[in-house]
Amino acid sequence: MFLDAFGSPIEVTPDNLHEYSYDLHGTKLLTSSDFEFYLPPKWHGTIYSTEELIQNYRKRFNPDPTLLTFHAMQPYEPEFICCERAVVELTALPAGQSLYSDSEILVFLVKQPARNTNILITKELGTELNFFPHDHHYHARIMDEGIDIVYVDDKIYNDPMTNYQQQRLYNVLSNIQPGTVMSLSGRPLPEVLRGACRKSSLAKEHNC
């Protein structure tokens, strides 16, 4: 998915391309090397992921190196990146293997200092649901600050593993206790997920 001008996630597809100005989307997050991602026409920017996912993606889809810029990140090591109207802190978090293949996947944490907001972005849930290892210094920091918004891809509810994925996502939310949970598409999520949100002003603002 892309990050918008303020560092919030946006899914851009051929169906909704007219809603966005593609030249503003200079940042894209690569969470898996299993699928070739959609790029708006004439898009220019940087694609962030780990070295392993980038190399696997290149081997599988052979992207044009003259059109795309890839930036390899170290897991759990935050980096400051510039969006159009904000500087955000981006961290790649390993999420184990995909449930649909043996490929490794990532989730991303975006810290928006100007908004004092921490956002966790998940495209799919893999074999690892503990994104913040207890033996890593990053865990204490995130647990202390808290996660304000968890973004999920609501397409996971449209496959045969629907109930299983919902339960796993509920477990993740119960452990993280975010302020609210939202779908990348903007469509409503199952009401049961809202019960895992902590009670806060942000949760009330988003009707969680």
Residue 179 lies in a domain: no
Encoded tokens for 166? 């919902």
Is 158 inside a domain boundary? no
pLDDT of residue 162: 63
pTM of the model: 0.88
In a domain, 69, yes or no: yes
Cα–Cα distance between 208 and 202 in angstroms, integer? 8
Q: Is residue 66 part of a domain?
A: yes
Our measurement of the distance from residue 84's CA atom to the centroid of its chain's CA atoms, rounded to an integer in Å, reads 19
Rounded CA separation 129/175 (Å): 9
Domain count, the chain: 1
For residue 81, being part of any structural domain is answered with yes
pLDDT for the residue 204: 40
Handedness of CA 138, 143, 149, 155 (dihedral sign): positive
How far is it, in rounded angstroms, from Cα 75 to Cα 87? Answer: 20
In a domain, 49, yes or no: yes
Residue 154 placed within a domain: no
d(CA 135, CA 157): 32
Question: CB neighbours of 26 closer than 8 A, spacing ≥ 6?
Answer: 44, 45, 46, 83, 84
Cβ-contact 33, 58 below 8 angstroms: no
Domain of residue 107: give its range: 2-146
Instruction: Please report, in tens digits, the pLDDT of each residue of the chain (208 residues total).
Output: 899 889 999 887 777 777 666 555 589 999 999 988 888 777 778 999 999 999 999 999 998 877 789 999 999 999 999 988 899 999 999 999 998 889 999 999 999 999 999 999 999 889 999 888 777 777 677 778 889 999 998 876 666 556 777 888 889 999 889 999 999 988 888 888 888 887 644 444 444 4
Answer yes or no: is 112 within a domain: yes
Cβ atoms of 56 and 33 within 8 Å: the answer is yes
Q: One-letter amino acid identity for 23?
A: D
Least Cα distance to 84 among 166, 10, 158, 168 occurs for 10
d(CA 70, CA 64): 11
DSSP for 6-32, please give it: TS-EE---TTTGGGS-GGG--EEE--B
- Specify the pLDDT at position 203: 42
Phi and psi, residue 22, nearest 5°:
-60, -25
